[in-house]
């Protein structure tokens, strides 16, 4: 059985030295790597125009940032065009000679007809190995030989196109990219970069045929179909990213299009949000208390303002044993809890066709399962009435909504297609308003207001609110309003004074600040610390007070101390018994 050489393939082996890539490639003559074949002759290579990504930018463009993706096989550069002052996102992949391009195409054609079954039938962790083994077999059967360098490049493109995302594969592997958008054939792909905002790339699908085929392949990855008869697709990719695509020129006159909202493999935690200054540690502690004491919340804001990220992050504060049901049309919520049912619609949120199951159907079913917490991805239709009825009957509910203020939330809720009576809106406890802003020329996300819904004024029917926290744009800090209805509620439930409740908030803020300071930001690590606090608050506080700054792995130190404290507690109990 032939084995592929265990040689790490890096973009640096193609472009060396890395710092002089532009000048060296510009000066060198085009060369081809010889491809040897014994047996039937290969098709004589035709002259293939260089793709957009192989062309080099003007020499006066400034490199702002440079980093590797896909383990070093591909590279990303962010350029600044001095003439337009625009950023350009440049994808660099291993360059192919004309001979290599033609023979890569031939090998891909041979693989498509010779693979014994669909790659989807192979276990995910074995797919790449299976594909490369079959590639070796095809090359052996057709007695094709090529240089080591050419073989490594061919393998990269075979894996990229059969198992990855074709031309946009390096972009999909870039952790700095949030959204990817293609508006049609021949139009450069645009993306949203966390550091540089919306930028044009050097990647494009030049023809209708190529883009149509790619859109169909995206649909197939989602196990869906898209065609002239059904030219609009809203689906979830296997990696969790959200896909919206159109096919042909029936509904989008410039041709097929797609938008991918990338799914974070490692979800943002509340520690990330505090570190990014989306909220303060005090606000995070307030959310923690609100979650524990059953406050229903709506996370509102514009597109890509961070609504779902905040909702997912604060859901980590749900007590570990609580029963949770989430309902979404595209999967975004990710929780560490075992007692969690993750519901997703079938056929779209509205359930317009026979056999479809929409948000309304899932929400009705969820309420029959006695959940303690209900998380609804986004409310926009008749399911909203059911959600507010669930709030009114004691179910703690979280959801997101497109709105930029409490006033606009109320307006949307009261008017079609939702149409909720104002008296029912007071079942909502807390609203977090998110905005995407520019601070010191950098695009950021901030929770600009945290507002409580207190009551309805009986004579005017105006909704009475209380602003608990607000963002100060001058100082880029968050200001506490001095009063919270939640704290009054906790005082009554726990028989505590106001100072004692504020002390509890401060203790939780201290724990969050400790995690920020020591870099405890991974999803499961944060969940572990929060769970420990629910189990024994005094032990948790004692650990962080004794270990204010941890050298090495902070979670290992925390867990060792927690385990030691647990054993001492059990020993003390046995002695007392």
Residues 135-180 pLDDT 10s: 999 999 988 888 999 999 999 999 999 999 999 999 999 999 999 9
* Rounded Cα–Cα distance for residues 261 and 377 (Å): 15
Average pLDDT over residues 553-563: 91
The answer to whether residue 241 is domain-embedded is no
Cα–Cα distance measured from residue 278 to residue 304, given in angstroms and rounded to the nearest whole number: 13
Residue 212 domain flag:
no
pLDDT-based confidence at residue 382 (cuts at 50, 70, 90): confident
Residue 519 included in any domain = no
Which residues span the domain enclosing 28? 11-148
Residue-wise pLDDT tens digits, 423-469: 999 999 999 999 999 898 888 999 999 999 999 998 888 999 999 99
The first and second tokens of residue 88, run together, are: 């350009």
Helix (H) or strand (E) holding 554: helix 554-576
Helix and strand numbers (H, E) in the chain are: 19, 20
What was the pLDDT predicted at 3? Answer: 52
> Looking at the domain assignment, is residue 140 inside a domain?
yes
- Strand 430-439's sheet: what is its strand order? 340-344, 324-328, 373-376, 396-402, 297-301, 430-439, 442-456, 463-472, 477-480
Strand 340-344 relative to strand 324-328, pairing: parallel
Tell me: do 144 and 274 sit in the same domain.
Answer: no
**Long-range CB pairs of 514-517, under 8 A, 24+ apart, other chains included:** 514/544, 514/548, 515/271, 516/271, 516/274, 516/275, 516/281, 517/548, 517/549
Q: Provide the CA 250 distance to its chain's centre, in angstroms.
A: 30
- Report whether 341 contacts 324 (CB < 8 A): yes
Please report whether residue 209 resides in a domain: no
How does pLDDT run across 189-248, given as a tens digit for each residue? Answer: 999 998 898 999 999 999 999 999 999 999 999 999 999 999 999 888 998 899 999 999
What is the average pLDDT across 330-349? Answer: 86
Kindly report whether the peptide bond that precedes residue 47 is cis, defined as omega within 30 degrees of 0: no
Q: In this structure, what CATH number is given to the domain that contains residue 340?
A: 3.40.50.300
Cis amide linkage into residue 17, ω under 30° from 0: yes
| Locus of tokens 């973009």 | 11
- Alpha carbons 385 and 397: distance in angstroms, whole number: 12
Strand partners, 65: 78
If you compute the radius of gyration of the chain from its CA atoms, what whole number of angstroms results? Answer: 28
The answer to the question of residue 553 being in a domain is no
Q: Are 70 and 170 in contact (CB under 8 A)?
A: yes
Which of 57, 49, 63, 140 shows the shortest CA–CA distance to 98? 49
Residue with tokens 């008296």: 423
Other CB atoms within a 10 A radius of the CB of residue 532 amount to 20
The residue among 113, 183, 107 whose CA lies nearest residue 142 is: 107
- Among 468, 497, 526, identify where a domain stops: 497
Confidence check: pLDDT of 291 > 60? yes
Q: How confident is the model at residue 13 (pLDDT cuts 50, 70, 90)?
A: low
First to last CA, the chain: 66
Name the pLDDT band for 576 (thresholds 50, 70, 90): confident
Query: How many domains, in total, are found in the chain?
Result: 2
Domain boundary among 87, 114, 148: 148
Alpha-helix runs per DSSP H in 80-126: 98-114
Q: How many CA atoms lie within 13 A of 533 on its CB side?
A: 24
**Which residue, 113, 148, 183, sits at the end of a domain?**
148
Q: Residue 153: inside a domain, yes or no? A: no
pLDDT tens digits, 53-85: 446 788 889 999 999 998 889 999 999 999 999
Q: Is 419 within 8 Å of 250 (Cβ atoms)?
A: no
Same domain, 474 and 325: yes
Tell the residue number behind the tokens 């606090």, with chain if given.
533
| CA–CA distance, 306 with 447 (Å, rounded to integer) | 9
Q: How confident is the model at residue 9 (pLDDT cuts 50, 70, 90)?
A: low
Q: Within this chain, do residues 467 and 328 fall inside the same structural domain, yes or no? A: yes
Q: Are 111 and 158 in contact (CB under 8 A)?
A: yes
Residue 507 lies in a domain: no
Structure tokens at 529: 């610390």
CA distance 9 to 155: 10
| CA–CA separation, 221 and 225 (whole Å) | 10
Spell out where 440-569 has E strands: 442-456, 463-472, 477-480
| Alpha-carbon span 398 to 430, nearest angstrom | 10
Q: Write down how long the chain is.
A: 577
How far is it, in rounded angstroms, from Cα 12 to Cα 541?
48
pLDDT-above-70 percentage for the chain: 89
């Amino acid at each position: 059985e032939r084995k592929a050489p265990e040689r790490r393939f890096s973009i640096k082996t193609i472009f060396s030295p890395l710092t002089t890539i532009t000048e060296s490639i510009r000066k060198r003559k085009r060369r081809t790597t010889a491809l040897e074949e014994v047996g039937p002759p290969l098709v004589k290579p035709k002259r293939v125009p260089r793709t957009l990504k192989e062309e080099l930018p003007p020499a006066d463009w400034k490199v702002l940032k440079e980093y590797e993706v896909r383990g070093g096989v591909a590279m990303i550069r962010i350029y600044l065009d001095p003439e337009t002052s625009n950023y350009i996102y440049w994808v660099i992949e291993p360059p192919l000679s004309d001979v290599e391009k033609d023979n890569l195409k031939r090998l891909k054609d041979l693989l498509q007809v010779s693979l014994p079954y669909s790659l989807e039938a192979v276990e995910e962790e074995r797919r790449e190995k299976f594909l490369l083994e079959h590639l070796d077999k095809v090359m052996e059967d057709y007695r094709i030989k090529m240089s080591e360098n050419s073989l490594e490049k061919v393998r990269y493109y075979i894996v990229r196109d059969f198992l990855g995302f074709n031309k946009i594969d390096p972009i999909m592997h870039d952790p700095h990219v949030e959204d990817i958008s293609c508006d049609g054939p021949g139009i450069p792909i645009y993306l949203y970069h966390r550091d540089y905002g919306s930028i044009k790339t050097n990647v494009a699908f030049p023809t209708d045929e190529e883009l149509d085929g790619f859109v169909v392949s995206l649909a197939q990855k989602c196990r869906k179909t898209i065609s002239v008869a059904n030219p609009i697709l809203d689906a979830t990719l296997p990696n969790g990213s959200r896909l919206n695509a159109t096919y042909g020129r029936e509904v989008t006159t410039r041709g097929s299009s797609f938008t991918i909202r990338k799914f974070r493999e490692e979800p943002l935690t509340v520690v990330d949000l505090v570190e990014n200054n989306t909220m303060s540690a005090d606000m995070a502690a307030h959310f923690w208390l609100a979650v524990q004491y059953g406050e229903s919340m709506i996370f509102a804001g514009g597109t890509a303002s961070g609504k779902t990220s905040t909702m997912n992050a604060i859901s980590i504060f749900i007590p570990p044993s609580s029963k949770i049901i989430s309902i979404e049309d595209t999967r975004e919520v990710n929780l560490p809890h075992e007692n969690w049912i993750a519901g997703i619609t079938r056929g779209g949120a509205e359930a317009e066709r026979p056999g479809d199951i929409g948000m309304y159907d899932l929400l009705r079913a969820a309420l029959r399962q006695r959940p303690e917490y209900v998380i609804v991805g986004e409310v926009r239709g008749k399911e909203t009435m059911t959600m507010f009825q669930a709030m009114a009957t004691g179910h703690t509910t979280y959801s997101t909504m497109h709105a930029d203020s409490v006033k606009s939330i109320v307006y949307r809720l009261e008017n079609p297609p939702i149409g909720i009576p104002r008296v029912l809106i007071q079942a909502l406890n807390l609203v977090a308003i998110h905005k995407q802003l520019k601070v010191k020329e950098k695009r950021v996300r901030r929770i600009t207001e945290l507002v409580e819904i207190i009551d309805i004024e009986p004579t005017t029917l105006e909704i009475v609110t209380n602003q608990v926290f607000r963002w100060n744009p001058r100082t880029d800090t968050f200001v506490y309003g001095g009063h919270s209805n939640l704290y009054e509620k906790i005082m009554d439930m726990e028989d505590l004074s106001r100072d004692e409740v504020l002390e509890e908030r401060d203790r939780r803020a201290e724990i969050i600040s400790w995690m920020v300071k020591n870099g405890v930001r991974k999803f499961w690590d944060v969940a572990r610390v929060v769970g420990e606090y629910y189990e024994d608050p005094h032990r948790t506080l004692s650990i962080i007070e004794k270990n204010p700054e941890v050298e090495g792995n902070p979670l290992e130190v925390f867990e060792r101390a927690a385990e030691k404290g647990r054993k001492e507690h059990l020993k003390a109990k046995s002695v007392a018994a």
